[in-house]
Every structure is written in structure tokens, then in C-alpha cells.
Chain A
Amino acid sequence: MKMPAEDTTAAPLISWEKRLQPSPVIAVLVPVLSVFLALGLGAVFLAFTGFNPLEVYQNMLHGAVGSRYGFSETIVKAIPLMLAGLGVSVAFRMLLWNIGAEGQFYMGTFGASWVALSFPELPFYIMLPAMFIAGCLMGGLWACLPAIPRALWGVNEVITTLMLNYVAILWVDYLVYGPWKDPQGFNFPLTVSFSKAATLPTLLGTRVHLGLVFALMAALLLSIVLWRTRWGYEIRVTGENASAASYAGMNIKRNIILVMFLSGALAGLAGMSEVAGITHRLQHGISPGYGYTAIIVAWLAKLHPAGIILVSFLFGGLIVGGYSVQTSGVPAATVSMLQSAILFFVLGGEILTRYRLRIGRKGGK
């Protein structure tokens, strides 16, 4: 006999009561509230280490959106988060815990840079599409490395995707410290600048580049794929109930590999647009952890494409704000601390969408 559940294990006065339907109001409220709670927690840390939290936050806000430049930088940081976040979300939707976006991002930068550096004479209308394809392809193939053993033998993809992050970063390091190093670069770990043709067009004199259009298009396409196509239907069903998917004759193994490829390709595209749009060269440490932040972004957005776009702006702002207060001695790690604290509160708060906190006993004596 199945009964709607209710928890009786908690203390007698407070207990969880299952909601018949998840509450949409709380589903929106929780992330918003989480941001504020995380800022509160961050304030405690800042205060303990001798900073005035209010001042720090004010400076961060000003740095992120207080000026035309700050605002455009927020968008610049949001672009890789959007693309990588979309990539993460599509894998997560199928319960494929791809936490290798960081490595896939790096491989994307590698692929795009290889095209730009190997064929500097190409005209832009061939150069940019070729870089686009190379970035996606490298990111996607890099994600296939863990996807194939996962599909065939169920090898834990959490660990393999993560391990490959280190490998990808070391690979790019090898290139920029070794064979690809700019001989005129004063021994800095970076390559020569790309040719003009390998540069993404930018918007109105800011650093905001065509990658923003890629990201918005990707979000739109992903929404259409997920909710309007056969393949998207398969992804949604498989993520919710894998045995129902195989019962319906869906090819789960193939979809694991395809979805991971797509996921990696999006992260690779993020890498491509970063080298082609911002740095115009490959260099050491090209991502300040976009791939990991993208995971937080994706979860915060409940894996929804539109939500990812929105949350990416917020997190881009956090990153830019973080940079702007570093000059006053606030550690760079503050930002990743705040981001993960937000995720903690969201994770903890999710139970409220499924359960209602009941205080006091109904009836009883």
C-alpha cells in the first residue's frame, strides 16, 4: 500500500510533511533567499578576518554593475559560465555527473588555438567557423573519454571527468610552457597572439564578444531540443527513470555518449569563445575555474536553460566584484566561497519545495 509519506523521525514538535505537489513559489524563493543567506555567511567570514563586510559588498556591487565598464565585464565573465553551465545542465539532466567542464573548456581552448596558430593566414569567414568546430569537437571528444567507459561498463564518471580536468590543464600547460610558447613573450607561459581573423567581433567598444550570441543561441536551441524533439524527450525520460527508458526501447548507451559529447562541446565552445574573444592567445590558467562555477550555476538554475543565462549574470557579477575588491586585500577565494555557500543553501532549501515543515502536533494530547 502506498501512502503519501510523512516523516516521524524528527523531534516530536517539528516534523516534515510531504507536499502533494512541489511548491512553485518556494522553488523560486529558495534560490533568491540562498543568495542573501550566503552573503550573510560571507559577511561573518569577512568580519572575522578584519574586513568591513558592508563596505566589501558595496565595492563588489559597484565593481560589478556600477559602471559601463564593470557591467560589460560582468557580461564577459558570464559568457563562459552560460556555455559551460548549459553543457553541465544537459548532462546532469540525464544524471550524468559531468564535472569535467573545466577540462573540456581547456580542450576547447586548445582546439581553437591549434586552428588559429596552425593556419594564421585563413580569412575570418573560414577561420572563425573552423575554430568554432575545433573547440566544440575537442571539448566533446574529451567528454567522450569518460562517457564511453560509463556507457559500456558503468565506470563512475564523477571521478573520471574530474581526473581528466587535471590532465587537460597539464596538457595546455605543456603547450604554453613548451612547444607553443611565444619566443618574444619574455618567457611568460603564453602563445603568440592570434591573427586578426581569429578574433571574435566585439560589441560597441567593450570586451563583450560574439560568444554572448553563441550562449543565447545555445540556450534557445537547448530548450527546443529538450522540450520539442524526440531526442530531448529521450533525455528527459532517461534522466527521470532510466529503467522506463530502456523499457521504452531507448538506446541509453548511445544517448549517454551523445549527451556527454554535447555537454563537452558546449564547454569547449566556452573555451573557444574565451580565447577568440578575450585573450586572443592560449595562456596558462586561462580559466579561473569556470567549469566548476558552471556546475553551481546549472544547479542553481534547476538545469533550466533560461535560468542558466540569468544565474550566469549573477555569478559573472560576483567574479568581477571579487576582482575589484582584491586590491583592498580581500582574498580571491572569497568569491568561490560565496558561490559554494549559495549552492549549500539552495541544496538545503530544496527540501522545502517537497516538504512542509510542520511545527507542533496536530491533535494529540
Chain B
Amino acid sequence: MTAPLVEMRGITKTFPGVVANEDVNLAVYAGEIHALLGENGAGKSTLMSVLTGLYRPERGEIYFEGQKVSFRSPRDAINKGIGMVHQHFRLVAPFTVTENVALGLKGGFNLNLNKIAQEIGELSREYGLEVDPQARIWQLSVGEQQRVEIIKLLYRKARVLILDEPTAVLTPQEARELYRTLKKMAEQGCAVVFITHKLQEVMEAADTITILRAGKTVATVKKQDTSEKELARLMVGRELKGLRQKPAASRSATVLSIEDLRVLNDKGLEALKGINLTVAAGEILGIAGVAGNGQRELAEAVAGMRTIVAGRITIAGRVLEQGNPLEAINAGVGYIPADRLDMGLVPNLGAVDNLLLKEYRQERWGKTFIDRRQVRLWARELVERFKVRMAGLDVPVKLMSGGNLQRLLLAREISTCPRLLVAEYPSRGLDIGATEAVHRLLLEQRAAGAAILLISEDLEELFRLADRIAVMYEGEITGLVDTAAARVEELGLMMAGAKRMEVGA
């Protein structure tokens, strides 16, 4: 066998308090698709950030084509032909596709955008990465934006392409299309590395798989020599328990009913184009779909945070007033937003103040003054009940781990016994243990008779938790099915807008 195109040897990278990578080895060959598999927090992204010059390791060496290299910045890595598509795209939203590709290129003082646009056209035909070079980024769908990211690397003649969780933003069909593109690139002699925690995806697209666990390399295996089950064991470090059957739903009265809802997004465009949904007490309604198709706006509208252009939201018989979060809170809506530290919590305040966020108006703490001692006792109790681990009740919550943050957030939202719980990507970024805890809490709420609106991009999660699944595409509901009767393939088509069914809600 030939020498690897890229090799990382004994990489160690620590952050204050955390060892992100410890003595990690990785060898990637030209012409192969290499999956980097591991749980959230296993150190995959850190390792790739080291490879692309974003981080510098404390120990370890990187070899490119057999030569030892040392990258001081992403520029060095790009110059060598190593590029990465980050999970959060690095695109300049008001720029055109061409301008984004042209960014940072060497060359003359003047900018010849026409020539670059033409070259982009050629590349996109060659690799099947269809995109309009003149379009502005903010006009593109997430899938198209991903293509722009890949074109940026191809245009720079990248030989090693790294993709961080590339399918998280795609429908199953789009994902398959991406795999085809990746294969083409590998055939041209590139090495493709993709980071993932989805076993299925690895078995479908990868040639070689390196598994990371807790910052260490566990194994590197060929796809044909392994199985999904073995990979799961390697990734988690223990046998995975089979899916526990959730108890049957005890649906009763309708809690949430949405009628012909129309809402604008932050750019002033219509994000929800007439949505009809109902959720009953004791039921979990899952919302599937690629992120950015109006899910966030739906969640925010139900939580009273968005002005309603047309239509009606009724919660337990009460019509929700125009964009008034307080109204929703009083109606018994709990909301777990996707951005925990951006919206759900106040990063610089302690656990007590964060738990108080929706409770502080309660008369039991006093009318004008807040009885801090009482509040503290109550907070301590909640923290213990929900097993939130932290350094102290007043230590800024931003120092807590993702799983504990989510527990804190859930503790607050659940402690008020909500009639309706809106959960937006509740397990995003959590490791398996924390995800299980979140799932358990959601099912407990369901059993307690709460109506739950669960927004997720993870079909597996939806199949596990939801009683019914609605699919969102471009601000519309393209399908609504009972989970028991749902098929992945069909949901995928609906997520892409290729298939629609009548929705009677």
C-alpha cells in the first residue's frame, strides 16, 4: 500500500480543564472516504481543527505526503491543500457565491469576478454541485450553502476535504447525493474525511473508519470488516441497550391548536405559510425537517416570541395574544430553545438566577422584593431533583457542560408543570448519556399529561419519542403521519418537498 496522504501522529491537545485529544493517530489515504466516528465530545472536531491549523497541539506531528508539516493558521493548511467544511458554515451572507469563493484568493489588485464565476460553473457541473454563482448566500437553502462550501475548497484545489457532520442539515436524499459527490472527489484522488456520530451514515458512505472515544483513538477499521453493532460498541464503550418501547399514548384533550399560521422570519420573509397543527395532552408531536425550514419560527411563535401575521394559536382554549411571551408563559407553555446559552439561559449568571428566569414574578418570592434565601432553597432542591452537576449555585452557568446545561434548562421548564412543552433540538450537541436523560424527561412529561411539540433533525430521535410526525418544508407542513406507520424514505421525500400529503391535522 502507498503512503498516506495525511498522517497525524500522537496528537495531544488540551484546553484548560479538558484533554480534548490524547495521543491520537490518524492516517488518511488518497482516494478514500474516511469517517471519523465518535460521540459528541469525543474530540473529533478538535482533531480536525488541529489538522486545519485552527488549533495548535501540545504534542504530536502532522505529515503531509510524507513530509512533516506544521500549520500556524488555516491559511497554511489551505495552501497545502487541506480544507474543511465546518458545521457552522463560514460564508459571508450578503456576498454572492462568487464573492465567497473569491475571498482570500491571491492575485492581482483588481477582481475579475466573471472569470471566477465561470470557473465555478465548470466545477459545479463536473462534481454535480449545482448552484447559481450570482446568488447571494442568504437566498440559498442550507443544502446549497453546503455546496458553496465544498466548491470553495475544490476551487482552491484542496486534496484533503474535511466535512464536519455534513448530513445534519440534509434530507436523506440530499445526503445520498452528497455521498455521490464525495465519491467523485475521492475518485479524482482526493482524500475525504467526514466527522459523524451516525452509524448508518458511516456504513453507507465510508471506506475506512476511525473511532474516537473520550479524546483517544479506539480503532481504525475497514468498512467491509465491521458492522454497525461493532462500531456502536467501539464508539460508546459498552453495549447499547435496545430501544425501550415507550408506553402507549393516552391522548386526551387538545392542548395546542394552530390554525393557518403565518409568521415572518428575521429577514422579513414569510417563514410559515399557513400552518395547521394540533397537539393533544399526553402526546408528543414530532416536527421533522431540515433545519431552517421554519421550525425555529414555529417554536418561537408558539412561545409568543414572534408576531403573528395571520392565523391563530390557541393553547388550552386561550387564543395567544400577538407576540407576547408572557402570555404564553402564563398559558402554561414551557420552551426549550435550540440555543441554550443564547436564549434559554443567561451565561454569566449563576444557577439560582437562571432557574428564576420565568419564576421571578411568582408572588411566593414577594411582590416587589425577591426573597433570596427562599429562592436559593428552592433552586437547590431543583438542582438535586434533576441531578444537575455544577461547581456552585452562583458560579456562572456558562462553565457547565452541555448536558448539565440542558438539565438545568429542563429543570426550569418542567418544574412549572407546563401544559405544553416546546422542545427545539433538545439533544443537539449532547453525548449519548445526556441524550438519554433528556429523552427520559420528555417521556415522563408525556406520561404526566403534557402536550409536547418536539422539533428535531434526527429522525431516529423522532421515531423513538414521537406519537405522530409532521414534516416541515419551506414553511409548510408537507406531511403528517402516525409514527407507527411512518417510513424514513417517505419522510425524506417530504423533507425535500418532493412529496406532499393532505394534512387534516
| In the assembled complex, B181 has its CB within 8 A of some CB on chain A | no
Q: Which of B38-46, B151-159, B454-462 contacts A (4 or more CB under 8 A)?
A: B38-46
With the chains together, A8 CA to B370 CA distance in Å? Answer: 44
Q: With A244-B357, A249-B326 in contact, do A8 and B56 touch (Cβ < 8 Å)?
A: yes
Question: Are A237 and B349 in contact, CB atoms less than 8 angstroms apart?
Answer: yes
Q: Total interface residues on A, using CB and 8 Å?
A: 36
Question: Are B349 and A20 in contact, CB atoms less than 8 angstroms apart?
Answer: no
Question: Are B15 and A237 in contact, CB atoms less than 8 angstroms apart?
Answer: no
Number of A-B contacts (CB under 8 A): 110
Partner of A228 from B344, B361, B370 at Cβ < 8 Å? B370
Question: Are A236 and B353 in contact, CB atoms less than 8 angstroms apart?
Answer: yes
Interface residues of A in 226-264 (CB under 8 A from B): 227-231, 233-234, 236-237, 240-241, 243-244, 246-249, 251
Expressed in whole angstroms, the minimum distance between the Cβ of B352 and any Cβ of chain A is: 11
Expressed in whole angstroms, the minimum distance between the Cβ of A223 and any Cβ of chain B is: 13
With the chains together, A18 CA to B17 CA distance in Å? Answer: 10
Which chain B residues lie closer than 8 Å to A229 at the CB level? 368-370
Q: From A362, which residue of chain B is reached at the shortest CB distance?
A: B58
Q: With A233-B360, A243-B342 in contact, do A9 and B73 touch (Cβ < 8 Å)?
A: yes
With the chains together, A19 CA to B399 CA distance in Å? Answer: 10
With the chains together, A21 CA to B303 CA distance in Å? Answer: 33
Partner of B346 from A240, A362, A363 at Cβ < 8 Å? A240
Question: Are A4 and B18 in contact, CB atoms less than 8 angstroms apart?
Answer: yes
Which chain A residues lie closer than 8 Å to B361 at the CB level? 230
Chain A, residues 1-31, CB within 8 Å of chain B (1/0): the string is: 1111110110010000111110000000000
Q: From A1, which residue of chain B is reached at the shortest CB distance?
A: B45
Partner of B58 from A9, A240, A246, A361 at Cβ < 8 Å? A361
Question: Are A363 and B58 in contact, CB atoms less than 8 angstroms apart?
Answer: yes
Expressed in whole angstroms, the minimum distance between the Cβ of A3 and any Cβ of chain B is: 5
Q: Total interface residues on B, using CB and 8 Å?
A: 53
Question: Are B349 and A21 in contact, CB atoms less than 8 angstroms apart?
Answer: no
Question: Are A363 and B12 in contact, CB atoms less than 8 angstroms apart?
Answer: yes
Q: From A363, which residue of chain B is reached at the shortest CB distance?
A: B58
Chain B, residues 50-90, CB within 8 Å of chain A (1/0): the string is: 00001110110000000000001100000000000000000
| In the assembled complex, A364 has its CB within 8 A of some CB on chain B | yes
Expressed in whole angstroms, the minimum distance between the Cβ of A205 and any Cβ of chain B is: 40
Partner of A3 from B12, B18, B337, B369 at Cβ < 8 Å? B18
Question: Are B305 and A247 in contact, CB atoms less than 8 angstroms apart?
Answer: yes
Q: With A247-B335, A249-B326, A361-B58 in contact, do A6 and B369 touch (Cβ < 8 Å)?
A: no
Q: Is the interface of B mostly helix, strand, loop or mixed?
A: loop
Question: Are B46 and A233 in contact, CB atoms less than 8 angstroms apart?
Answer: no
| In the assembled complex, B304 has its CB within 8 A of some CB on chain A | yes
Interface residues of B in 366-386 (CB under 8 A from A): 368-370, 372
Q: With A1-B45, A21-B395, A363-B59 in contact, do A248 and B15 touch (Cβ < 8 Å)?
A: no
Expressed in whole angstroms, the minimum distance between the Cβ of A20 and any Cβ of chain B is: 6
Question: Are A364 and B304 in contact, CB atoms less than 8 angstroms apart?
Answer: no
Which chain B residues lie closer than 8 Å to A248 at the CB level? 325, 329, 357-358, 360
Interface residues of B in 307-363 (CB under 8 A from A): 324-329, 335, 337, 342-349, 353, 356-358, 360-361
With the chains together, A133 CA to B27 CA distance in Å? Answer: 76
| In the assembled complex, B423 has its CB within 8 A of some CB on chain A | no
Q: With A20-B17, A230-B370 in contact, do A244 and B346 touch (Cβ < 8 Å)?
A: yes
Expressed in whole angstroms, the minimum distance between the Cβ of B430 and any Cβ of chain A is: 11
Q: With A247-B337, A247-B343 in contact, do A230 and B59 touch (Cβ < 8 Å)?
A: no
Expressed in whole angstroms, the minimum distance between the Cβ of B481 and any Cβ of chain A is: 31
Question: Are A237 and B399 in contact, CB atoms less than 8 angstroms apart?
Answer: no
Question: Are B370 and A247 in contact, CB atoms less than 8 angstroms apart?
Answer: no
Chain B, residues 18-33, CB within 8 Å of chain A (1/0): the string is: 1010000000000000
Expressed in whole angstroms, the minimum distance between the Cβ of A240 and any Cβ of chain B is: 5
Q: From B362, which residue of chain A is reached at the shortest CB distance?
A: A230
Q: From B365, which residue of chain A is reached at the shortest CB distance?
A: A230
Q: From B326, which residue of chain A is reached at the shortest CB distance?
A: A249
Q: From B56, which residue of chain A is reached at the shortest CB distance?
A: A8
Question: Are A1 and B325 in contact, CB atoms less than 8 angstroms apart?
Answer: no
Q: With A240-B347, A247-B337, A248-B358 in contact, do A230 and B368 touch (Cβ < 8 Å)?
A: yes
A3-B18, A230-B368, A237-B346 given; name 9 further pairs at CB < 8 Å.
Answer: A1-B46, A12-B72, A20-B17, A228-B372, A241-B342, A247-B343, A248-B358, A249-B325, A362-B14
Q: Show 20 residue pairs from A and B whose CB-CB distance is below 8 angstroms, ordered by the A residue.
A: A1-B46, A3-B18, A4-B18, A6-B15, A6-B16, A8-B55, A12-B56, A21-B396, A229-B368, A230-B360, A236-B349, A243-B342, A244-B342, A244-B343, A246-B305, A249-B324, A249-B328, A249-B329, A361-B58, A363-B58
For the complex of A and B, 7 pairs with smallest distance between CB atoms: A249-B326, A249-B325, A363-B58, A4-B15, A241-B346, A243-B343, A248-B357
